[in-house]
Structure 1
Amino acid sequence: MAFLLLTTLVLLIGMVCAFVTNQRVHEHTGPSVEAVPETLLSLRGLVSDVPQELQAVAQQFSRPQERVQEELDGVGMSIGSAIHTQLRSTVYLALASVSSLGQALQVSMDHLRALNATSVELQVAQRDLEPAVRDHRDRLLALLQEPGCQGDCAGSLSRARALELDADFSQVPTVDDVLHRLKGVPEANFSSMVQEDNSTFNALPLLAAMQMAKEVADLKKMVAQMPKGVKSLAKGFPGSDATLRWSQALEDLERDSRPYLQEVQRYETYRWIVGCVLCSTVLLVVVCNLVGLNLGIWGLSAREDPSHSEDKGEAGARFLMVGVGFSFLFAAPLILLVFATFLVGGNVQTLVCRSWESGELYEFADSPGNLPPSMNLSHLLGLRKNISVLLAYQQCSRGAALWEVLKLNDSYDLEKHLDISQYTSKLQQELQNLKVNMQDLDLLSPAAHRDLEALQSSGIENIRYGDFLVQIQKPVVRTDVGELAQELDRLAQAQGSSALGQQLQEEARGLRSLYQQKVIPQENLVAELNLHVRALESSAPDLQRETSSVLSNVTYLKRELPAWATRILRNESECFLARGISYFSQYVDWVREEVTQRIATCQPLSGALDNSRVILCDMMADPWNAFWFCLAWCTFFLVPSIVFAVKTSKYFRPIRKRLSSTSSEETQLFHIPRVTSLKL
């Protein structure tokens, strides 16, 4: 009974484990089956996303294009501003010198014309003054030499003899020749010209933008084009055709697998029912054993009671024999089920799961001759170089990209697709067409140029200003007319003869009138002439030097400014080209890094393989093997259960039946009274 109870408990434990593992297989089958399409979809996404990612990377070429086009929108203004900034000190200085020279020219011309006019006026005035002075002198000489003249007549006579013109303005050099050479000068309005040139130069950024508008538009059209290599980045990628085939094959497999997976779930339901039924048979054996043991033990314990019934022991023995019968009846199906599940689960665990987990399965695939040539991974992907499945799996597990895993540098010339030298060369050629025309910046108009050339050849610096100064430094009249008139008034009062005194007074009044009307105006003209002569004398040499300097500087600038502007334009164009090339170079470096390190990471592939192994081995094979092991455990312990049940059932039967089964009728009659008498 003890061994039977222990065996029954072992059977009960095995049956419970079989129920649990059978249920676990059933529970894992549904999610595992549902995970198959998801795994196929992830693999399909990995395969189909590669061309799309490459195309998306190629489309990112629009980023540097947009940056370059944004800078092209302001390249004209930028170049014009650079030219204006670098040339403004030179141009402003030249315009300032032209403006200053124009003002000096105007002032000099005013002085020269005034000098000529004053000289002529003085000469005319001297011609009028000379007879009047001579008449006064002659009359005074006659009056002062009369015998009746009283007072200091001798002193007045000496002053009267000196009453004559001192300065002779007919001796000053003429400036008619210089004025003739400068006739019409200044023809140009220097102030307006400089202001116009200044406005033109300050508007250079806007003018440059307007002049470059057509070339900039052509540049934009050229930049908007995509290099052929970048455009064909996805098309030339190795395995593109294989990718399409694989993507279509995975899509067909995912679509076609759904009906079969539904069938798998349906048959799994049948298998679960069969497993439950067979486990229930073991449960019947366990129930029969436990019930038989309980009834048998109850029957044994009640035999000492005179009024006991032997039906309990008989029932216990029969339950045990029923369990034995169930054991014999279901032993064969159980053995067959154990063999089938062992054959499937054991081989899957040994041949597939263990080798899959250890990597031997990948090594098997790598070994030549184990797989047909058509199933070779390199052949399927269309690669030129064979790759190791195990190494590819390990690299994919680390998150490596397909470029590293498939060694695509041997099958795909990435640098050829990323070569944009022709694109940048064309951009450079187009930039050389940019031009800035500075012809509108005259600096010196033709009229102003003629004015300065006339001034330069006029000989204004060669005028004999010293001859003017010699006559200017002389008084108009050698004797001071005013003092002579006062002296005549004093002398007239000293005369005793009223007629002589009256004549002297009239001469004094005449001299005062002459002084006021003719001498003082001539002195004013002399002062004015002195102003003009000294101004021209001091400014004429500097004016000639400044004129020569301005003419040479303007000539030099008009010749060199276009070259300077062109040089600045080239420097700015090269800077713009360098920035544009840097944008495209950054894009190329980014594409190289994306393609070789990030795009098309095959980690989903290794993840799908790991998930497949988990689904097949951990979620299905392991509970499956546990199920057949528990079922085999139960089947194995059915044998001792049968033996112990048969042995135990003999002791549970009534004594009569036990004796009848082992002795003759006389033995039974002999023993029965003895047993009865013992009980009595």
Structure 2
Amino acid sequence: MALVLGSLLLLALCGNTISEGPPSSRRTSSNVLEFELREVDYETEDVYKPGPISILFQIVHVFLHVVQPHAFPEDILRNVLRNKFDLSADYEKIIHYELGIIICAVLGLLFIILMPLVGFCFGLCRSCNKCGGEMHQRQKRNGTCLRKYFAVSLLVICVFISVGIISGFLANHYLRTHIEETQKLVDSNFRDLRTLLNKTPMQINYVVDQYNTTKKKAFSDLDNIKSLLGGGILDQLRPTVIPVLDNIKTTAAVIKETKEALLNTNNALKDLRKSIAQLDTSLSDVKTDLEQSLSDPLCSVPPVTTTCNEIRMALNQLDNNTNLGKIPLLDEQLDNVNNVLQTDLSSLIQKGYQAFNGIPEMVRNQTTNLVSGIKSTLNSIGSEIKQAQEQISIQSLLSRFMDPIDYIETYIYDKLRKLKEYDSYRWLSSLIICCFLTLVTTFYSLGVLCGIFGYDRNASPTRRGCISNTGGIFLMTGVGVSFLFCWLLMIIVVLTFVIGGNVEKLVCEPYQNRKLFKVLDTPYLLNENWKYYLSGMIFNKPDINLTFEQIYSDCKENRGMYTTLKLENEYNISEHLNIQGYTGNINSYFDNLHVEIDDIVLLDDAGRRSLTDFVFSGVDGINYDAYFAEITKTPTKVNLLSFADDLQGKANKLTKGNLRSSLIRNEQRLRKIYHDQVVPLELLMKGVYQSIRELQNRSSGLGVTVSSIISSLDSAQRFIVNNISSIIVMQSKKYGNAILGYFKLYLQWVKVSITERIAACKPVATALDSAVDVFLCNYIVEPMNLFWFGIGTATVFLIPAIIFAVKLAKYYRRMDSEDVYDDVETVPMKNLRKGNVDFNRHQTTQTVPTKFLSPPDCPSPSSAASLNVGKETRPSRDDRLGDAV
């Protein structure tokens, strides 16, 4: 059944069958197309695990390897398949290969022949009161040790027999359970095969339909040629152009800010000049008034003369301390900057931006016809791919294989019903065998246990207890049953061993290590005219290297049927999905793409002249140090408050009069001048200082910066003029390659999907594994081998069990007579049977002293030799038998 199932399934799927494979994760994104094949989940597991019982299976494998260590007989199998096998010529090879199995089978046959014969002779011998059949207990010095040894040995043997029986029970249950599960295994395999057949056409249609996704993405890119191609051109120009325009824009703002700073500083300087002029006038008035007051006649009178002279000498300090009135204003620089700003740089720069950003619109306007042509070509490619799909369509072909699969399924179900029916008889027979061995083991075990616990060391052999006697009867019953039926068990063991061992070595092992496939792949083996049988059967081309092992390995790895069966010999997908054939026309469109970009002027001549005029505006030539040197001075040479305080002190020393009044009046005027003019002037000077400092910060190096910007502007303009054509060509190729890449990617994905992913034939390999490896080997052969191994082990151990049971029964059964000894010289009595004394068979024996009749339970040979005890001498009661085991 396994080979029929595997062959039919393989042949049924040899015609371009295609199924789903593992997913190729591809999802659409902004720049990358990704396609996805939905994965199909199959029910049947491709790995079978027998569970904990596999340890017992491994033990049987080791035993078979020891019995049959030879390699798989490939040559013999090849000769059989070629019908060239001659038993008379090749029997030596067969014997050499089967030598271990033959030896074990011969030993089994000897067991089958000898055990009934030995049992028959043993029974006759015992019926003649021989072979231990005489119910007479002879006393032995080491009897206690022998009894214990026999009991322990028999118990150990019972343990080994029990292990074999348990293995038989487990194998019988395992086989029955898995035979019942075979229906589920078959169902899941056929469901997987139908899934394989039903999903394949759907997946091929899905793969073909993904062309629409590719086409939509290409159409989207074509519709967005303005942003993609034009934007690509901008991206190439942007690093050179945009920084220059941004710098010019920034410079225009800086020029405006500089103009404001110049205006503020110049106005502040004017205000400062006015304030200093007013201060000079006020101080001059005070100075004139004081000079007139000092002409008073009082100044000629000592000591007023000294005071007047001091005042007169200090008058030259009432003067302005700065030369700000001589420093030029910033009217010239301000006029130059105003002339620069008469040109609206911001609007000129905005025109530069607009000209630069207008490139994508130019590209779209000039590629309208190209986009239409490419779209038309893409639609025609879709029609060609659909035609290719029709050529590789296998839906009608797959429908032809549904009937054979249905037939195979019906055939297998019918055989499974019969198998379950026969298996019930097999299970019952195996159960009876295991129960029989269990019964024998029970007899032995009960016999030993009853003998041990019922044994009385003080009881004579003729007066042993009922329990002890029952134990002996159990032992002899087990011996009798063993002799009657063990040879029948060995017949079953030999038959199952020969069949199961050979199936394991000739089918299961070579299937697992794939040597069986290597034999089937031998050239000219199955057909003398075909080098490779499968390729000749599928393609009628026997020279194609298509082997059973390669197909099985590829299916085991879940590879596609196209690659597994080398279907390129029937339909070469690479030729029909030739990328160049589909994309050549699109390439020609992009090769002929020409986009003319009008002259792009970043800044016209008026703007350039404005920047140049600013460089020569004189803002960089302002002598800021001269301004800072004067502004940082104090407004007056002397502190007016101190001068007023000194003037007040001198006036207070004078007597009342015109001079004193004049000094006090001018002292008050100086204080007023300080508060009304000097303090505001100091604040104004600080403000002018900040304005000049701000102007310096804004204008420092501004001319050099503008000159550098003008140079960068010239460089950017030259870059546009010299490189715009090459940039357009480069970006056009990049844009075209992106669109072509979608179709290359799609066609490559289709090729990979059909050749490697679609029609993944793992269900075929799984079905073959289920039929051979799982059903035949694991469900049937493995438990069958474990059964004969366990039952055979138990049966073989019955031989020593019989021996020890017969020996041990003498020590437990109640005897009809025993050896009798007296402590004084007497006529010994022998063969006391049922209370009667037979005096015809007596002899006289010398009395043995009692002290010599009390040795330990297990005397040494020397001590036993020193006791010259005759056969008919009766020992004392303490000397009869040792303790019970």
SS at match of 2:797: helix
SS at match of 1:69: helix
Q: CA deviation at 1:412?
A: 2.6
2:142 is aligned with 1:25: no
Q: Which moved more, 1:361-370 or 1:258-267?
A: 258-267
In the TM superposition, what are the counterparts of 1:334-345 in structure 2 within 5 Å? 334-345=489-500
Contact 2:443/2:474 (8 A) holds in 1: yes
2:790 is aligned with 1:635: no
2:791 is aligned with 1:623: no
From the superposition, tell whether residues 51 and 218 of structure 1 become closer, same or farther in structure 2 (CA, over 3 Å). Answer: same
2:537 is aligned with 1:387: no
From the superposition, tell whether residues 279 and 671 of structure 1 become closer, same or farther in structure 2 (CA, over 3 Å). Answer: farther
Distance in 2 (alpha carbons) for counterparts of 1:310 and 1:411: 91
From the superposition, tell whether residues 338 and 236 of structure 1 become closer, same or farther in structure 2 (CA, over 3 Å). Answer: farther
2:710 is aligned with 1:589: no
% identical equivalent positions? 27
> Which amino acid in structure 2 is aligned with residue 250 of structure 1?
I
Name which of 518, 530, 544 aligns with 1:363. 518
Which of 1 and 2 has greater Rg? 1
Please name the residue that 2:473 is paired with.
318
Q: CA deviation at 1:616?
A: 3.8
Q: CA deviation at 1:276?
A: 2.2
Distance in 1 (alpha carbons) for counterparts of 2:387 and 2:540: 19
Distance in 2 (alpha carbons) for counterparts of 1:225 and 1:342: 70
Residues 388-442 of structure 1, C-alpha deviation per residue, up to 9 Å, x if partnerless?
22233344445544444333344432233214666657779999999x9xxxxxx
Contact 1:428/1:577 (8 A) holds in 2: yes
Residues 342-386 of structure 1, C-alpha deviation per residue, up to 9 Å, x if partnerless?
233212211111111222111121124654699943345447424
In the TM superposition, what are the counterparts of 1:382-531 in structure 2 within 5 Å? 382=539, 384=541, 385-398=544-557, 400-419=559-578
Name which of 360, 374, 378 aligns with 2:535. 378
From the superposition, tell whether residues 255 and 225 of structure 1 become closer, same or farther in structure 2 (CA, over 3 Å). Answer: farther
Please name the residue that 1:467 is paired with.
none
Residues 627-670 of structure 1, C-alpha deviation per residue, up to 9 Å, x if partnerless?
210101112222333343344334433221789xx979899723
TM normalised by structure 2 equals 0.40
Please name the residue that 2:759 is paired with.
600
Please name the residue that 2:272 is paired with.
none
Contact 2:461/2:818 (8 A) holds in 1: no
In the TM superposition, what are the counterparts of 1:185-224 in structure 2 within 5 Å? 223-224=378-379
Name which of 650, 655, 660 aligns with 2:815. 655
> Which amino acid in structure 1 is aligned with residue 552 of structure 2?
Y
In the TM superposition, what are the counterparts of 1:83-232 in structure 2 within 5 Å? 223-225=378-380, 227=382, 230-232=385-387
TM normalised by structure 1 equals 0.51
Distance in 2 (alpha carbons) for counterparts of 1:433 and 1:597: 38
Unaligned runs of 5+ in 1: 83-202, 437-568
SS at match of 2:759: coil
From the superposition, tell whether residues 672 and 410 of structure 1 become closer, same or farther in structure 2 (CA, over 3 Å). Answer: farther
From the superposition, tell whether residues 638 and 43 of structure 1 become closer, same or farther in structure 2 (CA, over 3 Å). Answer: same
From the superposition, tell whether residues 423 and 266 of structure 1 become closer, same or farther in structure 2 (CA, over 3 Å). Answer: same
Name which of 145, 164, 186 aligns with 1:14. 164
Distance in 2 (alpha carbons) for counterparts of 1:239 and 1:364: 32
> Which amino acid in structure 1 is aligned with residue 168 of structure 2?
A
Distance in 1 (alpha carbons) for counterparts of 2:497 and 2:814: 44
Distance in 1 (alpha carbons) for counterparts of 2:482 and 2:797: 10
> Which amino acid in structure 2 is aligned with residue 61 of structure 1?
Y
From the superposition, tell whether residues 229 and 265 of structure 1 become closer, same or farther in structure 2 (CA, over 3 Å). Answer: farther
Unaligned runs of 5+ in 2: 1-146, 233-357, 596-727, 820-829, 843-871, 878-885
Q: Which moved more, 1:210-219 or 1:14-23?
A: 210-219
Q: CA RMSD for the aligned pairs?
A: 5.6
Residues 167-187 of structure 1, C-alpha deviation per residue, up to 9 Å, x if partnerless?
xxxxxxxxxxxxxxxxxxxxx
Please name the residue that 2:838 is paired with.
670
Distance in 2 (alpha carbons) for counterparts of 1:572 and 1:8: 91
Please name the residue that 1:293 is paired with.
448
Distance in 1 (alpha carbons) for counterparts of 2:837 and 2:592: 138
SS at match of 1:590: helix
Q: CA deviation at 1:66?
A: 1.4
SS at match of 1:387: coil
Please name the residue that 2:306 is paired with.
none
Name which of 19, 28, 34 aligns with 2:184. 34
Distance in 1 (alpha carbons) for counterparts of 2:487 and 2:202: 59
Q: CA deviation at 1:617?
A: 3.1
Contact 2:201/2:395 (8 A) holds in 1: yes
> Which amino acid in structure 1 is aligned with residue 783 of structure 2?
P
Contact 2:464/2:812 (8 A) holds in 1: no
Contact 2:461/2:815 (8 A) holds in 1: no
Distance in 2 (alpha carbons) for counterparts of 1:25 and 1:230: 54
> Which amino acid in structure 2 is aligned with residue 330 of structure 1?
F
Distance in 1 (alpha carbons) for counterparts of 2:467 and 2:573: 91
> Which amino acid in structure 2 is aligned with residue 321 of structure 1?
M
> Which amino acid in structure 1 is aligned with residue 837 of structure 2?
L
Please name the residue that 1:67 is paired with.
217
